Structure 1
Amino acid sequence: MKQIWLSVCLLTGSLLFSNIAPAQSESGALLQQMSSASRSLNYEIAYISITKQGIESLRYRHAVIDNQPLGQLLHMDGPRREVLQRGGGISYFEPGLEPFTLSGDHIVDVLPSIVYADFNYLAKYYDFISVGQTRIADRPSEVFRIVARDGSRYSYVVWMDAETKLPLRVDLLDRDGETLEQYRVISFVVGEQVKNVMQGLLKANLPPLLSLPAAENIQLGWRTGWLPAGVNEVARNRRKLPNVDEPVESRLYSDGLFSFSVNVTPSGSSVSQQFYRQGRRTIQTEIRHGNEITIVGELPPSTAKRIADSISFKVSPP
């Protein structure tokens, strides 16, 4: 009897897996098309960005001319704030600041980070769930949920235009299903007319590229014992802050979708633990062994605390 029951369980599990795996693969392929469309099409979108701090109205234009990506992000309200992309340079124009250019392959603040993700990599750690079809911005759209399998991160709901594959709405949700941020397209245009409008950017006089100091191979006296699945260290540094005697040691981590930093500095404070969350960003601080540990980034508070609690201090780090 036990052998029959075991056989039934194994057969049922294999049938479920065979149904889920193709669906996961198909959804991942469609989401990858969204990323490709956002980088390759000529389009203009007007959209609103809704966060806990308020609502912003923005316009974004994107074109590819002679294999060179061009972009323009314009804040539609208040003082004129503009970001331009030409090739691998991103130029920033802010009131009261000297314009500058940084290296980059896309304007970071224009589309939600999920749009630029590597879905082949994320498929190892996230589930891509097709929710169905609906209409958004007067366009037929396909809806997907992106959820971390280990439950340690926020999740996304994406509305993708069925024809162009461009994202029309993206909601960032916490683990209770509350919306933390929303990106929502109001209107958009796709075609050669956008390419014609962007031609002038090819000859525009943009500010020079800022040179950043080269990364150093810094040895730190501590390390994290636990990280969410798929998260990797992408940078580390040791730096002095104004009015702070001791340097701050930092590691930056990312899974390609969410990022956070772990910061450690000697402390004389007696406050054992503090926590603050604003929208997607959490700040978790605790004092241990005379060191102040601060987690800052796109994490649920419970995940930030677990990371902070896992940190161990070593005299000779690997």
Structure 2
Amino acid sequence: MRVFPLLLLGGFLAVPVHAADAQDWLSRLAKADRQNLQGVFVYERNGSFSTHSIWRRVEADGKVEERLLQMDGPAQEVVRIDGETQCISNGLADQLEGEAWPARPLDPEKLSEWYDIRVIGESRIAGRQAIKLVILPRDQHRYGFELYLDRETSLPLKSLLLNEKGQLLERFQFTQLDTSSQPDSKLLEPGPGCRSVHVPEPKEQARAGWHLEWLPPGFTLNGVRKRRSPASGETVTYLMYGDGLARFSVFLEPLRGAMVEDARSQLGPTAAVSKRVATADGDMMVTVIGEIPLGTAERIALSMRAGDEAHLAQ
């Protein structure tokens, strides 16, 4: 499970701090995932809450083991080693391939081209002192974050993702966090419902044969993959794009004469837009899914064209 929290600052009074200080905190955040921890956090999306336990164990040789377990409702879990998903619960398995993004480091200097990054003060989360940052989009094609980083470890203790009207789209917040000791290895062992998975290596990257005539500024193509659709059994090509923080995928599925209507929806921060596109080889359904505004997702879907080969970002 990805924990990269995505504003209207309204009544907040920004503390005059150099932008370099904010970028320094983001640089610390990028390195904060290599330390021992165990804790409990709540996740809110579209008015629904869930509680999760998380364990991370860093071995002397540098290997990082992580386990995430949902504590209410179905016992969903994910186990990762060095960022690679090892197993995942059945209810999440079908989502994995679409979320299997190439690992890319957080680059504060690059992000500053597309976001205004500020330190606006301090707070206290889960009994720990936190630095409050805001990451404000410079255009309408991405969301901003309100981010609370642990002063001691730089771990994200809380994040809020709000749309341009100040409405909450997603909340992540620790209620308990212990970074003082290494979790017992038994706590990292997967439960019986955790299903082994295979994520294609970069060398297995597919070639798309499609391109976007319009792409939001700052977004680049991070990868091209193929998967089998659980609904139709068809092989679906999907292209993954990101700006270093926000990301979306474009799925290309042959329709084979199936009658499928265009669709658009928004669930919390996730937009989904499907458009039928006619090609020389028959109609295709182009579906854009990602944590971007709905209007941006729709424009991307309308910009997808068959033809020139899509090339991976260098």
Partner of 1:57: 51
For residues 277 and 163 of structure 2, what CA distance do their matches in structure 1 show?
28
Ranges in structure 1 where 5+ consecutive residues have no aligned partner:
1-21, 109-114
Ranges in structure 2 where 5+ consecutive residues have no aligned partner:
1-16
Cα distance change of structure 1 residues 237 and 89 upon mapping to structure 2, 3 Å threshold: closer
Partner of 1:258: 246
Verify the 8 A CA contact 1:49 1:57 in the aligned structure 2: yes
Cα distance change of structure 1 residues 262 and 137 upon mapping to structure 2, 3 Å threshold: same
Cα distance change of structure 1 residues 40 and 306 upon mapping to structure 2, 3 Å threshold: same
For residues 243 and 191 of structure 1, what CA distance do their matches in structure 2 show?
46
Matched position secondary structure for 1:117: coil
Verify the 8 A CA contact 1:237 1:249 in the aligned structure 2: yes
Q: How does 1:91-170 map to 2 (within 5 A)?
A: 91-92=86-87, 94=89, 117-170=106-159
Scaled by the length of structure 1, what TM-score is found? 0.73
Verify the 8 A CA contact 2:143 2:292 in the aligned structure 1: yes
Cα distance change of structure 1 residues 53 and 91 upon mapping to structure 2, 3 Å threshold: farther
Q: Which moved more, 1:78-87 or 1:298-307?
A: 78-87
For residues 31 and 242 of structure 2, what CA distance do their matches in structure 1 show?
21
For residues 220 and 273 of structure 2, what CA distance do their matches in structure 1 show?
19
CA deviation map 1:137-193 (0-9, x unaligned): 33332111112222311111001122332221101111222111101111212213x
Partner of 1:186: 175
For residues 203 and 180 of structure 1, what CA distance do their matches in structure 2 show?
32
Cα distance change of structure 1 residues 176 and 198 upon mapping to structure 2, 3 Å threshold: same
Scaled by the length of structure 2, what TM-score is found? 0.73
Partner of 1:15: none
**C-alpha root-mean-square deviation of aligned residues, in Å?**
3.8
**Cα displacement (A) at 1:78:** 3.5
Greater RCO, 1 or 2 (C-alpha within 8 Å, sep 6+)? 2
Matched position secondary structure for 2:184: helix
| Rg larger for | 1
Aligned residue type for 1:294? T
Partner of 2:224: 236
Aligned residue type for 1:198? D
Aligned residue type for 1:84? V
For residues 271 and 162 of structure 1, what CA distance do their matches in structure 2 show?
51
**Cα displacement (A) at 1:35:** 2.9
Matched position secondary structure for 2:244: coil
Query: Which residue, 74, 81, 100 being the options, matches 2:76?
Result: 81
**Cα displacement (A) at 1:246:** 7.3
When you count helix as a share of all residues, which structure comes out higher? 1
Verify the 8 A CA contact 2:207 2:309 in the aligned structure 1: no
**Cα displacement (A) at 1:200:** 4.4
For residues 296 and 155 of structure 2, what CA distance do their matches in structure 1 show?
31
Partner of 2:20: 25
Q: How many residues align?
A: 280
For residues 226 and 200 of structure 2, what CA distance do their matches in structure 1 show?
15
Percentage of matched positions with identical amino acids:
26
Structure 1 position 72 matched with structure 2 position 67 = yes
For residues 96 and 310 of structure 1, what CA distance do their matches in structure 2 show?
32
For residues 40 and 238 of structure 1, what CA distance do their matches in structure 2 show?
31
